[in-house]
Amino acid sequence: MANSLFLASGLGIQNWTYIIVGLTFALYIGIAIWTRAGSTKEFYVAGGGVSPLANGMATAADWMSAASFISMAGIISFAGYDGAVYLMGWTGGYVLLALLLAPYLRKFGKFTVPDFIGDRYYSNTARLVGVICALLVSFTYVAGQMRGVGLVFSRFLEVDINTGVIIGMIIVLFYAVLGGMKGITYTQVAQYCVLIFAFMVPAIFISIQMTGNPIPQLGFGSTLADGSGTYLLDKLDGLSTDLGFAEYTEGSKSMIDVFAITLALMVGTAGLPHVIVRFFTVKRVKDARKSAGLALLLIAILYTAAPAVSVFARTNLIETVSNKPYATMPEWFKKWETTGLIVFHDKNNDGHIQYVADATKNELVVDNDIMVLANPEIAQLPDWVIALVAAGALAAALSTAAGLLLVISSSVSHDLIKKMINPNISEKGELIAARLAAVVAVCVAGYFGINPPGFVAATVALAFGLAAASFFPAIILGIFYKRMNKEGAIAGMVVGILSMLFYMLKFKFGWFGGGGKTDWWFGISPEGFGTVAMILNFIVSIIIMKFTPEPPQEVQDIVENIRIPSGAGEATGH
């Protein structure tokens, strides 16, 4: 596609990437040094004094991981209508979290989700189950982030994926271990600015190129700029059907699987420990509500643009590669080939790329995860824009990875060591334990980044399923049902997490005899099974609760209290 709109740059993509990524990394490290944590309260919840705006931006960056930045638009590019389940599930889940859980958890006043579980269910066994679930969710989620970091480094800094993961580990370790939540919060404010700018600039450029409309959210529903009067989506539907693919705007997933994945992503979001902990960093419950609303607005900028980016990327990809001579492929194609994320097999030896739906004839395999990263290159945007996208992808992956590492380290140091193993540990000792736990967590996360269980969004979707299966029922029942006791909650969490793990290992990794799509229970994919596991958790929790003693009266009083809005006593005169 002609690039008459923009000026070319003589520096080259790699040099621009070194400059922009180097500057952003220097900024993150500088912030970490400036805001380093000196106490456990600063390490766990940034001292509890973050402003709603800063917390809203940090929450948005924490929430918008490599899956949101890199993988979501990539999935929608290839799955079309079916890919919208990720968009609906993740957006709806954040609304659910902000309205239903965040203010109550903030009023309960605990640092971590396992801390809430342990105190609300008056049991160290419940706390231990909560710690195990938090670690499982966080490690599964962080594996996706580390793979995202490796992808960016492997392409733009031209190192192999493993080296890229190790570089990312070192950077995130530095500011997560040094700064704790205080350092992470202000680093994430900077990372939000970087990632949203990096996502929107190329989207605006390409929207102008293709439709003449500078607003991507409107551009993908507009007519083409070539004067033909054809709508962009109609053109993509035509390109897709010509190659034997389903129409882009038509779905092929079963309704039950769409429902199950969407609900699993929604309730999984509401049980994500690294997002929930963000609401403990503000001073008041009112500030928690305010920062949740601000975060939703800031997240919506990227989420409403993602479908447009996916359409732009898919259209440009098909037009660039389909039935074109391999010898004429642009430089970006050859560069991505070296990463193994685009693979061309010339089956008929004619030197042309046959990109079709028929697997026996198709000669091109494109990884979902490259679509956002390669999009500016396919559209021939200036080198600095391409480098900016690399910096944005790293900001998205590192911001979420840091939040997850903090959950892992605080689960070990606060919930396991302080609350269960050694209650008399000094604050300094607890801080050292938290930092050591973060170091170990980074190493484990790096291993999963080098040996990932799937592409970024699929890996992350499994983490949401685990969160839905374990935490969501325990948190909801803990807040809204004072009769819920420790026996019910523990049994529900154990059944929920084990059933999700079993299904995930069986159908995603081939354990226990494996099986394909035809063997899925109720026609539900592993990404959607979190919904079934969550329902099982609720059923088991309530049945066991019916046959076991009520919680102590003081616990029931706490539950009653956290549901009363702040200031209600003054308003009613009680």
> 3-class DSSP state for residue 340?
coil
**Burial per residue of 81-117, b for 16 or more beta-carbon CB atoms within 10 angstroms, e otherwise:** bbbbbbbbbbbbbbebbbeebbbbbbbbebbbbbbbb
DSSP per residue, 12-48:
-HHHHHHHHHHHHHHHHHHHHHHT---SHHHHHHGGG
Number of domains in the chain: 1
Task: Tell me whether residue 8 is in a domain.
Answer: no
Query: CB–CB of 506/513 below 8 Å?
Result: yes
Q: What is the pLDDT of residues 204-254, one digit of tens each?
A: 999 999 999 999 999 988 999 888 889 999 999 999 898 888 888 887 788
| pLDDT score recorded for residue 207 | 95
What global pTM score does this model have? 0.83
Whether 569 has a pLDDT exceeding 60, the answer reads no
Q: What is the CATH number of the domain that holds 106?
A: 1.20.1730.10
Quick check: is 574 in a domain?
Answer: no
CA distance 316 to 320: 6
439: amino acid identity, one letter: V
Name the residue with higher pLDDT: 276 or 561: 561
Q: Is it the case that residue 565 has pLDDT exceeding 70?
A: no
Q: pLDDT band for position 452 (50/70/90)?
A: low
Q: What would the pLDDT profile of 538-553 be if each residue is shown by its tens digit?
A: 999 999 999 999 999 9
Q: Which residues contact 88 (CB under 8 A, 6 or more apart)?
A: 262, 265
How much is the average pLDDT of 88-96? Answer: 83
Residue 4 lies in a domain: no
Residue 421 lies in a domain: yes
Which structural domain, as residue segments, surrounds residue 518? 13-565
> Amino acid letter at 207?
S
pLDDT number for residue 113: 80
Is residue 271 situated within a structural domain? yes
**Does residue 144 surpass a pLDDT of 80?**
no
**Residue 420 domain-assigned?**
yes
Q: What is the pLDDT of residue 301?
A: 92
In a domain, 305, yes or no: yes
Between 476 and 100, the higher pLDDT residue: 476
In a domain, 7, yes or no: no
The HSE-up count of residue 7 (CA atoms within 13 Å, CB side) is 3
End-to-end CA distance of the chain: 70
pLDDT of 432 reads 85
- Segment 13-40 shows an average pLDDT of 81
User: Which two tokens mark 22?
Assistant: 């180097």
Task: Transcribe 205-265 into DSSP letters.
Answer: HHHHHHHS-S-HHHHTTSB-TTSS--BHHHHHHHHHHHTTPPPTTS--S-HHHHHHHHHHH
